[in-house]
Amino acid sequence: MAKLKTGLIQMGLKASTDGSPDEIRQAMLAAHTPLIDDAGKQGVQVLCFQEVFTQPYFCPSQDTKWYAAAEAIPDGPTTRLMMDYAKTYSMVIVVPIYEERMPGVYYNTAAVIDADGSYLGKYSKTHIPQVAGFWEKFFFKPGASDYPVFDTAYCKLGVYICYDRHFPEGWRALALNGAEYVVNPSATVAGLSQYLWELEQPASAVANGYFIGAVNRVGWEAPWNIGEFYGNSYVVNPRGQIEAQASPDKDELLVHEIDLDMVREVRNLWQFFRDRRPDTYDPLIELN
């Protein structure tokens, strides 16, 4: 049996948004450190944080102050720090941060670090919302990747970020590229989308025959207070069953072991990939 020990960390904001992005980064890293160490000691093999994990979810604002929160990947301080942790604990780490790719060009990105501390690559959020409370186009340029799957020491790993989860095309592309486990770091609040949290990702796990680790932050973030980030991070299997779930309101490391043999087992039962008809899907890529 191909067992994989997964870890998801959900966290509330640990510093006032009146502070500088660098001060907030240091506070968030300090809060994460004990949980990273705990994950390493528990033998977690793939660890993922929440979306833009070193900062508040600043997109309710349109304040250029937050451009200073962006850092280089892989040579910025957070990615370098996580490379050290990955090597120390032989742990794959997915590092979702605000990325500056060149002066004035910013992305919502997750770096992927292998268990030996090497940088494998990155995925940048593809679908960028622009609605009240979520003015993301002000901060993020949309990614234009080919939905990479990272051949890590322990599994074939995909990344999809927050709002991406509403779009089935990317989930399918990750499956076709070989993903066995896909993480979705998010920042989502109670209200309109909450009922989708335990609906869309289990459905995507079933449709694509892989495991998904869904991560959300917790608590309220002033001064915006657009809603409560409701946590409830979880791991769902290819049958759509949530196998483990974190609390709605606490800082937490969720550790759960999954059986990757279930990927083949479920795909052999539900032959969705055999029965696909890509020759009929041309209308799906028309620009309307």
**Averaged pLDDT, 233-248:** 98
Query: Is 48 in the active site?
Result: no
Residue 23: pLDDT over 70: yes
% of the chain exceeding 90 in pLDDT: 96
Query: Is 125 in the active site?
Result: yes
Residue 70: pLDDT over 70: yes
| 1 pLDDT tier (thresholds 50, 70, 90) | low
Cis peptide before 223 (omega within 30 of 0): yes
C-alpha 258/C-alpha 235 separation (Å) is 9
pLDDT of residue 145: 85
Predicted confidence (pLDDT) per residue in 140-151, tens digit: 999 998 999 999
Q: Among 125, 136, 155, 156, which one carries the catalytic annotation?
A: 125
Q: Among 71, 99, 162, 221, which one carries the catalytic annotation?
A: 162
| CA 233 to centroid of chain Cα atoms | 11
SS3 content of the chain, % helix, strand, coil (to 5): 30, 25, 45
Predicted confidence (pLDDT) per residue in 99-133, tens digit: 999 999 999 999 999 999 999 999 999 999 999 99
**Averaged pLDDT, 200-215:** 98
Query: CB of 99 within 8 A of CB of 109?
Result: yes
| 185 pLDDT tier (thresholds 50, 70, 90) | very high
C-alpha 267/C-alpha 269 separation (Å) is 5
pTM: 0.97
Q: Which tokens is 75 given?
A: 């040579």
**Averaged pLDDT, 242-269:** 98
Q: Among 48, 51, 100, 156, which one carries the catalytic annotation?
A: 51
Query: Is 137 in the active site?
Result: no
Query: CB of 145 within 8 A of CB of 184?
Result: no
